[in-house]
A and B are shown apart, each in its own frame.
Chain A
């Protein structure tokens, strides 16, 4: 089961409302780019016969169903959307509680995630879901393998890599080193329309709004634009020697040499 989040496109021009909140309706929404790598990893495991089926799970507003549909166009078998008016503004903890409850119900061998969401960037959800579900976490895999009843990831270390192993079922997350995500083919897009997609409310996964303390344990008290940087100084149309003198003067002025 691959957990995917719908996020505003990384490079989409972003508009803010008067109180500096992102105007989500104005930005193009996509599958969190790092979750596409998790999808790719899952589909490769399915193609190699290491796992039987691939499903997708997302928590978000109703339009997050579009992200699930796009994932189904890449491949996989079915999708589940958890959506509820009480989930707006969910933080890492609330998100993890909801995903964990849905995953408990779906009971996959591997609950696979991206290494981070583009908008929240906490990378906290995988560890929180593992803790809530009471199973090991194999995180930041540059490759995930399943061999019978164990899962293994290859994971970068300070100066090389480790192989980390745990018995199934596991929660896992993978990086952008697993291989470039495939594009959805036209055939895939057509096939996705017929794949099953379920929509669950909080009640469907045995949670209530009270369990989630208003969906967040933190709140934003201030939002502002970053300090404007001084304009860029350009060196252009000069010889390499002249450029070097200008750079060295600049470094010296900043006491860097």
Chain B
């Protein structure tokens, strides 16, 4: 048994994902408190280059696989590694891939699972997690029961930790080998990347989101301009994604992305609970809606009652003017 903190480090297109960098910083921080070190379990295209995670906070890295196979196919290798290492906790990104792999580890190893969490601490050698449950109406703090196996599996929401900047160092790399077993039988048989680039909302510090009130795909043009002026990205409600006005990757909410930007601007979005759970931890929330009784008016920091088409273009011009551009 060790006091190490392990984390899942997903790679894509030859580089660590934003989630991997956030969790590296988180694992390093927690390991500082537990007296252990941060260990990456790296997978995905580029994972063989996991030594670079040293600059992000990892002391060592175990490569589970360097290919584009579904994340869960690495579960057997991850389980074998965790059995040997018995770290205190495994931080997993609260993304579809992270959840698949974390779920498989819960099943293979019989482990306590937590999350999605917005804070993790090590207190007296025990993992303590903090999560918002029941649509954010209650905050609970949890820990493993006496005698529960290790590691505690912790699903971590995006932006819970901030990637280390300007770090240096290399992680000591080893590779895990274990037969993939039955979970390895799923394979990607077709890949269809989008023709136009799609923003990664989890990396945006400012998001201008549009909903049904935007009315059409063309209606998103002024939102793109405002986002550009603010230095942010465009997001959407499910209604806007379902209508085909924007790709589903831009959907925020229960079945979309969970985001935590410095600023969220909701335009023509009513603020349904399923949308709210994806953006309610934004530091500042501005809503523009023509309905004075829209639910978003109950939890926005600034609620502007008015027509988005009258306000957004003028706001873009004013933002540009004040920024001196």
Question: Which A positions have Cβ atoms within 8 angstroms of B?
Answer: 8, 10-11, 14, 16, 20, 22, 34, 91-93, 96, 100, 115-116, 119, 121-132, 134-140, 142, 152, 155-167, 170, 175-177, 213-214, 216-226, 229-230, 232-238, 240-241, 243-248, 250-252, 254, 256-257
**A225/B301 in contact, CB under 8 A:** no
**A159/B107 in contact, CB under 8 A:** no
- CB contact list, B178-198 vs A, under 8 A: 181-194, 197-198
Knowing A219-B143, A250-B286, the reply to whether A257 touches B319 (Cβ < 8 A) is: yes
Knowing A134-B182, A139-B100, A243-B304, the reply to whether A119 touches B249 (Cβ < 8 A) is: no
- CB contact list, B278-304 vs A, under 8 A: 284, 286, 292, 297-304
The dominant DSSP class at the B interface is mixed
Does B112 belong to the interface (CB within 8 Å)?
yes
Q: How far is the CA of A136 from the CA of B96 in the complex (A)?
A: 15
Does B128 belong to the interface (CB within 8 Å)?
yes
**B106/A139 in contact, CB under 8 A:** no
Residues of B contacting A161 in the complex (Cβ-Cβ under 8 angstroms)? 192
Does B200 belong to the interface (CB within 8 Å)?
yes
**A226/B132 in contact, CB under 8 A:** yes
Q: Write the nearest CB–CB distance from B265 to chain A, whole angstroms.
A: 9
Knowing A122-B99, A158-B12, A159-B194, the reply to whether A217 touches B300 (Cβ < 8 A) is: no
Could you give 26 example pairs across A and B, Cβ below 8 Å? A8-B134, A10-B135, A14-B137, A16-B138, A93-B113, A121-B116, A122-B115, A123-B99, A123-B103, A126-B100, A136-B186, A138-B186, A142-B248, A156-B249, A162-B192, A176-B238, A176-B255, A213-B148, A221-B143, A223-B138, A229-B301, A232-B300, A235-B304, A235-B305, A243-B306, A247-B318
Instruction: Using CB atoms, name the residue of chain B closest to A152.
Output: B189
Knowing A115-B255, A127-B99, the reply to whether A93 touches B322 (Cβ < 8 A) is: no
Q: Which of A16, A166, A221, A252 contacts B187 (CB 8 A)?
A: A166
- CB contact list, B157-207 vs A, under 8 A: 181-194, 197-198, 200, 206
Does B114 belong to the interface (CB within 8 Å)?
yes
Ordered nearest first, which 9 A-B pairs have the shortest CB separation? A127-B103, A131-B107, A128-B107, A217-B112, A124-B103, A222-B141, A163-B190, A217-B148, A136-B185
**B145/A214 in contact, CB under 8 A:** yes
**B206/A256 in contact, CB under 8 A:** yes
Task: Digitize B112-131: 1 where CB-to-A-CB distance is under 8 Å, 0 elsewhere.
Answer: 11111000000000001000
Q: How far is the CA of A251 from the CA of B96 in the complex (A)?
A: 34
Residues of B contacting A257 in the complex (Cβ-Cβ under 8 angstroms)? 230, 319, 322-323
Number of A-B contacts (CB under 8 A): 278
Task: Digitize B141-158: 1 where CB-to-A-CB distance is under 8 Å, 0 elsewhere.
Answer: 111110111001101000
Does B14 belong to the interface (CB within 8 Å)?
no
Knowing A128-B103, A237-B305, the reply to whether A223 touches B263 (Cβ < 8 A) is: no
Residues of B contacting A8 in the complex (Cβ-Cβ under 8 angstroms)? 134
Does B133 belong to the interface (CB within 8 Å)?
yes
Residues of A contacting B137 in the complex (Cβ-Cβ under 8 angstroms)? 14, 225-226
**B310/A240 in contact, CB under 8 A:** yes
Q: Which of B141, B149, B183, B230 contacts A217 (CB 8 A)?
A: B149
Instruction: Using CB atoms, name the residue of chain B closest to A176.
Output: B255
Residues of A contacting B88 in the complex (Cβ-Cβ under 8 angstroms)? none
Greatest chain B CB density within 10 A among A11, A127, A135 is at A127
Q: Which of B187, B249, B301 contacts A233 (CB 8 A)?
A: B301
Q: Write the nearest CB–CB distance from A140 to chain B, whole angstroms.
A: 5
Q: How far is the CA of A136 from the CA of B185 in the complex (A)?
A: 6
Task: Digitize B26-61: 1 where CB-to-A-CB distance is under 8 Å, 0 elsewhere.
Answer: 000000000000000000000000000000000000
Residues of A contacting B302 in the complex (Cβ-Cβ under 8 angstroms)? 232-233, 235, 246-247, 250
Does B102 belong to the interface (CB within 8 Å)?
yes
Q: How far is the CA of A225 from the CA of B106 in the complex (A)?
A: 29
Residues of B contacting A156 in the complex (Cβ-Cβ under 8 angstroms)? 96, 248-249
Knowing A137-B104, A140-B96, A240-B306, the reply to whether A248 touches B255 (Cβ < 8 A) is: no
Q: How far is the CA of A210 from the CA of B299 in the complex (A)?
A: 45
Does B315 belong to the interface (CB within 8 Å)?
yes
Residues of A contacting B306 in the complex (Cβ-Cβ under 8 angstroms)? 235, 238, 240, 243
**A247/B187 in contact, CB under 8 A:** no
Residues of B contacting A136 in the complex (Cβ-Cβ under 8 angstroms)? 182-186
Residues of A contacting B114 in the complex (Cβ-Cβ under 8 angstroms)? 218
**A135/B107 in contact, CB under 8 A:** no
Q: How far is the CA of A10 from the CA of B277 in the complex (A)?
A: 11
**B185/A216 in contact, CB under 8 A:** no
- Additional A-B contact list (7), CB under 8 Å, known A14-B137, A157-B193, A160-B192: A127-B105, A131-B104, A158-B249, A163-B191, A165-B188, A234-B304, A244-B318
Greatest chain A CB density within 10 A among B183, B249, B299 is at B183
Residues of B contacting A132 in the complex (Cβ-Cβ under 8 angstroms)? 107-108
Q: Write the nearest CB–CB distance from B35 to chain A, whole angstroms.
A: 22
Knowing A128-B106, A244-B318, A257-B230, the reply to whether A159 touches B249 (Cβ < 8 A) is: yes
Q: Which of A130, A216, A220, A243 contacts B141 (CB 8 A)?
A: A220
Q: Write the nearest CB–CB distance from B41 to chain A, whole angstroms.
A: 15
Q: Which of A163, A216, A232, A244 contacts B298 (CB 8 A)?
A: A232
